[in-house]
């Protein structure tokens, strides 16, 4: 069974992180349909582009990743969401689980990303 290719929106205030994440997703065969620089931009682009997966940072200016996800969840419960942070602790994991998302530690390892997408696709 061939895996479904995701249409991905990357949300991260770091241009470098967005570029590295895009390269990794494209290597894995997914289509990056947009990039956003913070949570507010992420909400706007999510409505505009309707991705199947959002890969987001947590700490960003204007609106953080968790607040962005809460807003997106208020109108879309189906979208798959993965948050990536250099700090993944119990408190962050709890926040992420509360908004029905999955957490990965930065830098993102290819196998961890593959596993997270498979988990969310169930």
Domain assignments of the chain as residue spans, ordered by start: 7-120
Residue 3 has pLDDT above 70, yes or no: no
Determine the topology of domain 7-120 in CATH: Rossmann fold (3.40.50)
What confidence tens digit (pLDDT) does each residue in 18-48 have? 999 999 999 999 999 999 999 999 999 999 9
| End-to-end CA, the chain | 14
Q: How far apart are CA 85 and CA 65, in angstroms?
A: 10
Residue 77 has pLDDT above 70, yes or no: yes
Task: State percent of the chain over pLDDT 70.
Answer: 98
| Position with higher pLDDT, 97 vs 54 | 54
Residue 76 in contact with residue 50, Cβ under 8 Å?
no
Q: In the structure, what pLDDT confidence band is assigned to residue 82 with cuts at 50, 70 and 90? A: very high
Q: What share of the chain is helix, strand, coil (3-state, %, to 5)?
A: 45, 20, 35
Which residues are within 8 A (CB) of 77 and not within 5 positions of it... i.e. 6 or more apart? 100
pLDDT the model gives residue 107: 92
Q: How far apart are CA 52 and CA 62, in angstroms?
A: 24
pLDDT the model gives residue 90: 87
User: pTM (2 decimals)?
Assistant: 0.94
């Amino acid at each position: 069974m061939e895996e479904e290719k995701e249409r991905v929106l990357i949300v991260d205030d770091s241009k470098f992180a967005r570029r590295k994440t895009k390269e990794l997703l494209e290597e894995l065969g997914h289509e990056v349909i947009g990039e956003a620089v913070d949570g507010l931009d992420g909400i706007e682009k999510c409505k505009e582009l309707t991705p199947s997966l959002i890969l987001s940072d947590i700490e960003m200016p204007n609106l953080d990743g968790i607040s962005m996800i809460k807003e997106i969840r208020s109108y879309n419960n189906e979208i798959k969401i993965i948050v990536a942070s250099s700090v993944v602790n119990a408190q962050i994991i709890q926040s992420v689980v509360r908004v029905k998302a999955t957490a990965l530690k930065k830098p993102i390892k290819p196998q961890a990303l593959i596993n997270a997408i498979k988990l969310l696709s169930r």
